[in-house]
Structure 1
Amino acid sequence: MFKLPDLPYDYDALEPTISADTLHFHHDKHHKAYIEKTNTLAEKAGLSGKSLEEVVREASKTGDKTLFNNAAQAWNHAFFWPCMAPGGKSCTGQLKAAIEKTFGSVDEFKDKFVEEGVGHFGSGWVWLATGSEGLKIISTHDADDTLVKDGLFPLLVCDLWEHAYYLDYQNDRKAFLAAWLQHAANYFFAEQQMFAADGKGEGFKFGAPMASGGGGKEAPAEQPRV
């Protein structure tokens, strides 16, 4: 069974960019529901004991859409939480150099990220990813993610589902994305992901599943609380 991961910061730590009310609603209700449904569906599919990454890929491979939607959303949200940090983390070092090489400047990257997110119709996610062609910005619909896209490794993601921002920004997705990139995005985490993609260090992985009886112990969280 998979366990809902704790946030790596307090609920009010991202204010005013993201309110404590939004994080309680987003994490404690939405993410928790995806975890619980994944546990039920993965057991029925005979995937108990598999990592969440394996469950997502197997569900995609077999065409089990219901399991894929819940498992991928469970993973996407777990990856989303460390993509944020109180006050954000500055874009510096090798990540900044890579962004400048690809997009011209950090500001131009932010503009393109916002443009991709605003232009995405409906629910989904907007990603900064890397691969054989270098950095790229993509968006995915609904639960779709980079785990099932060959040659792509996620560095940073922002949630485009309305529950991620509607309490704070109503229907102004553009304002949410601009504020998120400026004040909440964790570029240090993104740089560590970039290093992992290059074989230098360990990339993000969801915590190991617990025994079905609940007596197991989840693997340590990837990110320390800040």
Structure 2
Amino acid sequence: MVAPVAVAVAATSALAKPSSLTCALVPSWQGLRGSLGPARSLQWPKKQRQCRRKAGGTSVTAQFELKPPPYPLDALEPHMSKETLEYHWGKHHRGYVDNLNKLIAGTELDELSLEDIILATYNKGDLLPPFNHAAQIWNHDFFWESMKPGGGGKPSGELLELINRDLGSFERFIEELRSAAATQFGSGWAWLA
């Protein structure tokens, strides 16, 4: 049995052309904001960050908080156990959030949204800690939001038609997904967008 895969695969040139999977899934593409479901589920607007005044000063620091998955930690069993979620979300994901907060404290990144930190650090070629932690947080948030209790399995309707048209079959899609993730440097995130 194939475990639920969250809608994911690296975009290939075949998928990026108009009238392909991209257009079917996100008819009004607007970048990260509002394109992949409710903006509140994928974004870290500044208002979701805790702010506190530094003692004796007037500057403000903001901290990201670990967002809980949108379901109980045992809701994805038998595909993902409660213990797996407790470890992966509660320790691994939390580590990225805590470390990013430490890395950006007192820097020019301190007041930016998560997406803006990713863009700012990627675009200046600084792919080390701030970029890596911010990108890992975004990927984890998207991962948790992409799954639901009782979900998974083979899609149907227009999505399946487009997968079959662009990749030949659902089985080929799974192969491409696994290959994209396995050949990705680092954590191996791959998304269908």
- Shorter-chain TM-score range: 0.5 to 0.7
How much does 1:116 deviate?
3.7
Residue 124 of structure 1 aligns to a residue in which SS?
coil
Partner of 1:213: none
How much does 1:121 deviate?
7.0
| 1:69 to 2:119 alignment | no
Q: 2:125 & 2:185 partners in 1: Cα distance?
A: 22
Task: Give 1:114-125 correspondences, 5 Å limit.
Answer: 114-118=178-182, 120=183, 123-125=186-188
Matched residues, number: 129
| 1:88 to 2:155 alignment | no
Aligned partner of 2:141 among 62, 66, 78:
78
Amino acid at match of 1:86: P
Alignment CA distance shift 1:23-1:42 (3 Å): same
| 1:101 to 2:169 alignment | no
How much does 1:122 deviate?
6.6
Question: Unaligned stretches of 5+ in structure 1?
Answer: 130-154, 156-226
Question: Unaligned stretches of 5+ in structure 2?
Answer: 1-62
1:121-143 CA-partner distances (Å, limit 9, x unpaired): 774224233xxxxxxxxxxxxxx
Residue 44 of structure 1 aligns to a residue in which SS?
coil
Q: 2:162 & 2:185 partners in 1: Cα distance?
A: 30
Runs ≥4 in structure 1, deviation > 4 angstroms?
Answer: none
How much does 1:74 deviate?
1.1
Partner of 1:55: 117
Identical-residue share of aligned pairs (%): 36
TM-score (norm 1): 0.52
Partner of 1:3: 65
Higher strand share: 1
Task: Give 1:119-158 correspondences, 5 Å limit.
Answer: 120=183, 123-129=186-192, 155=193
Q: 1:35 & 1:126 partners in 2: Cα distance?
A: 17
* Alpha-carbon RMSD: 2.0
The answer to whether the 8 Å contact 1:31/1:74 transfers is yes
Larger Rg belongs to: 2
Partner of 1:204: none
Q: 1:37 & 1:76 partners in 2: Cα distance?
A: 16
Q: 2:112 & 2:68 partners in 1: Cα distance?
A: 21
TM-score (norm 2): 0.60
